[in-house]
Structure 1
Amino acid sequence: VALRLANCCLVRTSFVPDEHWQSLEVAHRLAFGYGHLTWEWTAGLRGYTYPLIFASIYKTLHLLGRDSVQLLVWTPRLAQALLSAVADVKLYSLTKRLETQEVARWVFLCQLCSWFTWYCCTRTLTNTTETLLTTIALSYYPLEGSKSTNSMKYASLVALACLVRPTAIIPWVPLFFRHVWQEPAKHRLILHCFFPVGFVTLSLSLVIDRIFFGQWTLVQLNFLRFNVLQGVGSFYGSHPWHWYLSQGLPAVLGPHLPFFLHGCVRAPQRCRKLLVPVLWTLLVYSMLDHKEFRFIYPVLPFCMVFCGHSLSHLRTWRKPALCFLLLSSALLALYTGLVHQRGALDVMGHVQEVGCRSANLSSASVFMMMPCHSTPFYSHVHCPLPMRFLQCPPDLNGQSGYLDEADTFYLDPARWLQREFPNAALLPARVIIFSVLEEEIRAFLTSGNYERTAVFFHTHFPEGRTGSHIYVYERGPPGTEG
């Protein structure tokens, strides 16, 4: 628990928009009545079960009179840190039942020093909770050699993970088939365990979403139709079929990669069964065009079992191997947690500090001229400050040559701004941009009497529309040009 709480405090960077826009932003709107819902919510692709957890935390803080912006930002992440600690211990206890205590300790060490786990396990991503629930459920799964199994427990945890994110079912497909195949009372398992759990979970999902959508919505079916059958997810990028094998898994494993490969060879047959869900998950995700590192995060704890076996078999080279693993993992974890892509959070702290203290909020408007969802929104500001960002919903109507607002803006920023703000009265009080955009809109900034008031470092690896720094420009009073 102490380690994961420290982990939480040492991750002050942004990863992907979903950690805010599919959880905290929705929760803020539920709890406080204002905020922004992305297009997924109007299309019924996301369920309200997961953000409702954070909304409950927010509402409790509000009733206690403790809903400061700092507590709104950190309390959900502290909750994730505690759940992550539980998942770590469950992985250790599972390995201890299957193997010797020595192997379990090495697996536990590998889990704790995994750079990607450190980077993700305290974030409010659906992938994070999906991974933690999967790990806890695995400790109840009837693996060979396990002394304590509880089908209802693990099935309920898997069902809960699927409520958070439907893709949680993917690594469990081969495990479910294996359980049914080896179970003597197959009908009893299906009819008295899997079916009741599935029915109750689906009913709960339908009722919760019926309340908030105002109509019956099966978000799991919409999610499947959108991402798999229609393949609209490729709007946000596509990768070759081998990406997870050539880049995704090696990057997620990081310094653990050689130990994972070695462990796959040295692990006993009873543990190699855990390799099937890993390969199956990679296969399923490889068939989809849109790929991201976080999608395969749920199978990372499976991989740690093999890494632990590798270290347990090393004798002569154990000390140098451990030094390499711990040092390289620590450097990666600290750099990605404290340095890389931190500007997106720092700038919102600045907006909250200067914007929410304005006597007249309507005159303190903010426009984020950045790739859409580059920063958090009201969950990190917590006051009804007028804010706007460039929208980027995908084409859901099959229009030819479709361009979203962000793409249209970046085709010709100067012309877009001239059209959008034909007179000075419409100009926002503050403009937030990445450094790469500054020269392109220099004329707009000058004519609008904007002055740079803050600079925040973001990344050492600027790419495309994302710059190394984030600039905040504030509009001066009329008549102060020059």
Structure 2
Amino acid sequence: MRRGWDGPDAALVALLGLALALRLAAAFALPNIVHPDEIFQTLEPAHRLWTGWGLVTWEWRAGIRSWLFPGFLAGMMTGLGALGASWPVVLGAIVVVLAIVSLAVVAVGYRVGRETFGPRGALIVGWLCAVWPDLVYFAPKTLTEVVAAHTLIVATWLANAPALAPVRGGQARGYVGLGLLLGLTFCLRFHLAPALLIVAIWACRMDVRRRWLPVVAGGLAVLAVSGALDWLTLGSPSQSIWKNIAINLFEGRSQDFGVSHAGAYVVWMSTAWGPAAWLVLIAFVFGARSAPLFALVAGSIWLVHSAIPHKEVRFLFPATPCIIIVAGVGCARLLEWWGKTWPFPRSRAATAGVLAVWTAAAASAATGPDYRGMWVGRAPELAAEAALRNAGDLCGVALAGLNWFDTGGYTHLHRPVFLYLYDQPYDERPDKRRLGDAEFSSFNYLIAPPDIARPPGYAQLGCEGEVCVYRRPGGCTPSERDEANRAIEALDP
């Protein structure tokens, strides 16, 4: 390790600019949903807190979700709304803010590369962090796993002695800051507790008074705020943590959504990254010695989540920044060894070649079968809701042949109208689906697949992919079934 933070330089600024451009271009050019939780566990509650209307999932009814992150999002909505910003601008601002926060991975990667293998190492690791598809794709996602990953990566870097040295200054403020980051990460994603403990032990060692006490104080301060927030909003201190654990551990609620074998993450990541996965693995092995803490954090997250029966790719994301940073360090280490053993090609040419290889690997993964589907996931549903948002005669919307959790909810509809859910029994003809005995007068717009049996009086306005918008003339006639059929109640398990 050479030295700690001494301010940005031109290369770092350029890499941050490149990373931000990639993240914003992907987010705005290809709006998508990777998982329902990015809507219904964060944005939708925030939208409901601000406007008073939104869908309520079972997790919020059970009181196992914290208002910490949704409260932050609601604060942004409120502030921008007070300034007169339109709803698309508000959603866009959230994307921009989260994309900027994600640049912490690039900055940390650059610093780790510089601290281990100088300017060339900084360029290689920073470049890889800027262009790797997982880090680009997930950056603006309103998922607590993603935000926790970004706070964790800063804490992991700060835990290294060279990083702490400049802020230590004979005082404990550096360790208090580390504790605050660890506490915040825990409140966002308590499943990362083993990794957080590893970071704390690495930073504090056996120094109780000067290190452990300020770290613990910082962590407890965040836990106290989060616990008090749960108490005020849910009914008991830290309820979003202990009740979440109780429901999923003793009632097995998470397993109702599927279970996978212990090696599922290996299969999923190798499939998503394709041949590039081998490049990452080899580089990671060579880089673990030079960036051991990052390797330990990544390994602990991988092992803990592999042992949990219910698995989702997003759960593993907090390990991804560490994996990519270690892989970049490993590549820089191999390049340094190559330069000592084989003087040709020259250093700059070799570095350019390495960057080109990693860029090709990232592009290969980003355009593979898995990512091709992720870049456009649920885009038709979002487009349909965006179109209805501007419909002046809208007085009610029904979803037919679609899952409510595959839509953008009221967050993307952003209109205070009833949103209906109906069971859609199959018609006798296997290629046609119908609405059943719905009262069509309660709504005047319908979002449904193109092969649905057309309701009386409804005309198809347009389709995108497998999602179409239908409309009938006239207004809506409320019925006694409104309260029973509207989605805000139908979501109750």
TM range (shorter): 0.7 to 0.9
Deviations 1:297-321 (A, max 9, x none): 1111211233213432245787666
- 2-structure distance, mates of 1:265, 1:42: 45
Are 1:107 and 2:128 an aligned pair? no
Q: Which residue of 2 aligns with 1:92?
A: 110
Q: Which residue of 2 aligns with 1:137?
A: 155
CA 1:452/1:198 → structure 2, altered by over 3 Å: closer, same or farther?
same
- 2-structure distance, mates of 1:199, 1:245: 35
Q: Which residue of 1 aligns with 2:24?
A: 8
Letter in 1 for 2:387: E
Q: Residue 73 of structure 1: CA displacement?
A: 1.6
Are 1:43 and 2:62 an aligned pair? yes
Are 1:230 and 2:251 an aligned pair? yes
Are 1:26 and 2:45 an aligned pair? yes
| TM-score, normalised by the number of residues in structure 2 | 0.78
Deviations 1:381-414 (A, max 9, x none): 2221322347xxxxxxxxxxxxxxxxxx47x445
Q: Which residue of 1 aligns with 2:279?
A: 259
Q: Number of residues paired by the alignment? A: 432
Q: Which residue of 2 aligns with 1:395?
A: none
- 1-structure distance, mates of 2:263, 2:372: 31
Query: Which residues in structure 2 correspond to 1:459-470 (within 5 Å)?
Result: 469-470=466-467
Q: Residue 246 of structure 1: CA displacement?
A: 2.8
Q: Secondary structure at the match of 1:139?
A: helix
Query: Which residues in structure 2 correspond to 1:46-445 (within 5 Å)?
Result: 46-66=65-85, 68-142=86-160, 147-148=165-166, 150-180=174-204, 182-183=205-206, 185-186=207-208, 189-190=211-212, 192-213=213-234, 216=237, 218-248=239-269, 250-251=270-271, 256-267=276-287, 269-312=289-332, 313-314=334-335, 315=338, 322-330=355-363, 332-333=365-366, 340=374, 342=376, 344-359=378-393, 361-362=394-395, 364-389=396-421, 409=423, 412-414=425-427, 420-421=437-438, 423-426=439-442, 428-434=443-449, 438=451, 441-442=452-453, 445=454
- 1-structure distance, mates of 2:266, 2:288: 23
% same residue: 19
- 2-structure distance, mates of 1:343, 1:142: 39
Q: Which residue of 2 aligns with 1:471?
A: 468
Q: Which residue of 2 aligns with 1:466?
A: none
Q: Secondary structure at the match of 1:106?
A: helix
- 1-structure distance, mates of 2:351, 2:160: 32
Q: Residue 434 of structure 1: CA displacement?
A: 4.1
Please tell me whether the aligned partners of residues 25 and 377 of structure 1 are also in contact (alpha carbons under 8 angstroms): yes
- 1-structure distance, mates of 2:188, 2:43: 14
Q: Residue 280 of structure 1: CA displacement?
A: 1.8
Q: Secondary structure at the match of 2:259?
A: coil
Deviations 1:88-113 (A, max 9, x none): 21332233234422222211111112
- 1-structure distance, mates of 2:218, 2:352: 47
Q: Residue 259 of structure 1: CA displacement?
A: 3.1
Please tell me whether the aligned partners of residues 144 and 270 of structure 1 are also in contact (alpha carbons under 8 angstroms): no
- 1-structure distance, mates of 2:287, 2:388: 56
Q: Secondary structure at the match of 2:406?
A: coil
CA 1:39/1:231 → structure 2, altered by over 3 Å: closer, same or farther?
same
Q: Secondary structure at the match of 1:326?
A: helix
Please tell me whether the aligned partners of residues 434 and 470 of structure 1 are also in contact (alpha carbons under 8 angstroms): yes
| TM-score, normalised by the number of residues in structure 1 | 0.80
Please tell me whether the aligned partners of residues 448 and 469 of structure 2 are also in contact (alpha carbons under 8 angstroms): yes
Letter in 2 for 1:84: S
- 1-structure distance, mates of 2:178, 2:217: 13
Please tell me whether the aligned partners of residues 98 and 145 of structure 1 are also in contact (alpha carbons under 8 angstroms): no
CA 1:239/1:89 → structure 2, altered by over 3 Å: closer, same or farther?
same
Q: Secondary structure at the match of 1:365?
A: strand
- 1-structure distance, mates of 2:185, 2:191: 9
CA 1:103/1:227 → structure 2, altered by over 3 Å: closer, same or farther?
farther
- 1-structure distance, mates of 2:449, 2:436: 21
Deviations 1:144-187 (A, max 9, x none): 7975463221221121122222223342232333444x33x225
Q: For structure 1, which segment, 205-214 or 109-118, has the greater mean C-alpha deviation from structure 2 after superposition?
A: 205-214
Please tell me whether the aligned partners of residues 114 and 256 of structure 1 are also in contact (alpha carbons under 8 angstroms): no
Letter in 1 for 2:242: L
Please tell me whether the aligned partners of residues 10 and 334 of structure 1 are also in contact (alpha carbons under 8 angstroms): no
Please tell me whether the aligned partners of residues 264 and 306 of structure 2 are also in contact (alpha carbons under 8 angstroms): yes
Letter in 2 for 1:386: F
- 2-structure distance, mates of 1:341, 1:260: 22
Q: For structure 1, which segment, 139-148 or 268-277, has the greater mean C-alpha deviation from structure 2 after superposition?
A: 139-148
Are 1:451 and 2:459 an aligned pair? yes
Letter in 2 for 1:279: G
- Which blocks of at least 5 consecutive residues in structure 1 are unaligned? 391-408, 458-468
Please tell me whether the aligned partners of residues 50 and 163 of structure 1 are also in contact (alpha carbons under 8 angstroms): no
- 2-structure distance, mates of 1:261, 1:418: 50
Deviations 1:338-361 (A, max 9, x none): 8746363444344343454324x4
- 1-structure distance, mates of 2:135, 2:297: 18
Q: Which residue of 1 aligns with 2:486?
A: none
CA 1:152/1:95 → structure 2, altered by over 3 Å: closer, same or farther?
farther
